[in-house]
Amino acid sequence: MHVVIAPDSYAGTLTATQAAGAMAAGWAHAAPHCVLTQVPLSDGGPGFLGVLERGLDGQMLATTVRDPLGREVPAGVLVIEEERGRTAYVEAAQAVGLHLLGASERDPVVTTSYGVGQLLRAARDAGATRIVVGLGGGATNDGGAGMLAALGAGSPDDLARGGAALADLGPGGLAGLDRVIADWNNIELIAATDADTPLLGMQGTSAVFGPQLGATAQQAQDLDRALGHFVDRLAGHLPRRTDLVSGTPVRLDKQPGSGAGGGLGYGLLVLGAQLRPGVDLVLAALDLATLVAAADLVVTATGTFDWQSLRGSVVSGIAQLAQAAATPAVVIAGVVLVGRRETMAVGLSGSYAVAETPAQQEAAHADPVGTLTARAERVARTWSPPPR
């Protein structure tokens, strides 16, 4: 029996590679007769670059960028030679990741995406004509203003002091933006998003993700207003676009995914990027469809299996591939918060929680590898019984 183990990371506890290893160890113990293939995955967040490096034939180039508070941190650019030219993959979380900050440092009012602009420059300097940017897992809420500052759109004093400072952005704060847009016109930019959130409003990035990054309710409102002012300042630099069907003006800040990465999606749209679900990009790059079609079972995983997992996630992406190939698929999650009906509707044959009680959750945090291994072993006894 061929089992493909294709997990996402368990945010804050296990990388996707660590999760795959733990699951494979448990499965092998219970079902040594199975052939196991480990394929760690990502939706564009932390681990995006490592997952692609493991599955693609490319070169990792080392660089140094600024973190959300301006400190230098190591980062990488994965360069792939393709028939159409050179493609570079970068992971925004290496520059703006929440994991780069201590608990007391998490403040989306002041954090900046400047380091993402440095990553883009490093990718371009490596000769890439196509750059794919994974956006998830960031600690910023500045609409990509810091990133644009690093590319020369304006002074870092105006654009790289965090989202709240954009409320004071003056008419000349984007003096270099026209040149930057023209300069990047010949680079194909693709933003690998992990959310379809717009930039502004009650469903926008400040309202939805600001509190998760450490913002109070009042700060989230202030950030939304500051981003709105930023959008107004940008308007004069962008060409007017009209929807071909409705004839109405197209607003980049309302595009699904423009709020991804604390608004990095919007900043990249300003540069002419396309927004695509990160999980779809990863699955296509690694040719998971072929692997899933040849398997007898696919086991995916995530930290929390909830309503957000039903669309645009590693779990939902794997479920869709498995359903198309008529291959059974199950998910092992740290916590399961959706019912059997939702699980079946998305294309999964079952869902299994590592922790179902407060005591089990505490044990899982204390020993994430051991508890995931044990749960995978129990699931394997159900799905991979020994041959007769």
Say whether 261 sits in a helix, a strand or coil. helix
Task: Note down pLDDT in tens along the chain; length 388 residues.
Answer: 999 999 999 877 899 999 999 999 999 999 999 999 999 999 998 889 999 998 898 999 999 999 999 999 999 999 999 888 999 999 999 999 999 999 999 999 999 999 999 999 999 999 999 999 999 899 999 999 999 999 999 999 999 999 999 999 999 999 999 999 999 999 999 999 988 899 999 999 999 999 999 999 999 999 999 999 999 999 888 877 776 677 777 889 999 999 999 999 999 999 999 999 999 999 999 999 999 999 999 999 999 998 888 888 999 999 999 999 999 999 999 999 999 999 999 899 999 999 888 888 888 888 999 999 999 999 999 999 887 7
Contact 278, 192 (CB under 8 A): yes
Return d(Cα 184, Cα 361) in angstroms, integer: 47
Return d(Cα 19, Cα 74) in angstroms, integer: 24
Say whether 177 sits in a helix, a strand or coil. helix
Determine the pLDDT at residue 195: 86
Closest among 90, 91, 64 to 79, alpha carbons compared: 90
Determine the pLDDT at residue 315: 94
Contact 277, 43 (CB under 8 A): yes
Read off φ and ψ for residue 181, nearest 5 degrees.
-60, -45
Task: Quote the crossing angle between the two packed helices 48-55 and 16-30, to the nearest 10°.
Answer: 60
Return d(Cα 44, Cα 163) in angstroms, integer: 22
Residue 317, C-beta contacts closer than 8 angstroms, at least 6 positions apart: 41, 43, 277, 279, 280, 282, 283
Q: Where are the beta strands (DSSP E) in the chain?
A: 2-7, 35-38, 59-66, 72-82, 85-91, 130-134, 188-193, 274-277, 297-305, 329-336, 350-353
Return d(Cα 280, Cα 293) in angstroms, integer: 16
Return d(Cα 65, Cα 114) in angstroms, integer: 8
Residue 33, C-beta contacts closer than 8 angstroms, at least 6 positions apart: 1, 384, 386, 387
Query: Hey, what domains does the chain have and what are their CATH numbers?
Result: 2-41+287-383 (3.40.50.10350), 48-280 (3.90.1510.10)
Ordered DSSP codes for 64-107: EEE-TTS-EEEEEEEEEEETTEEEEEEETHHHHBGGGS-GGG--
Determine the pLDDT at residue 377: 96
Half-sphere exposure of 50 (CA within 13 A, CB side): 16
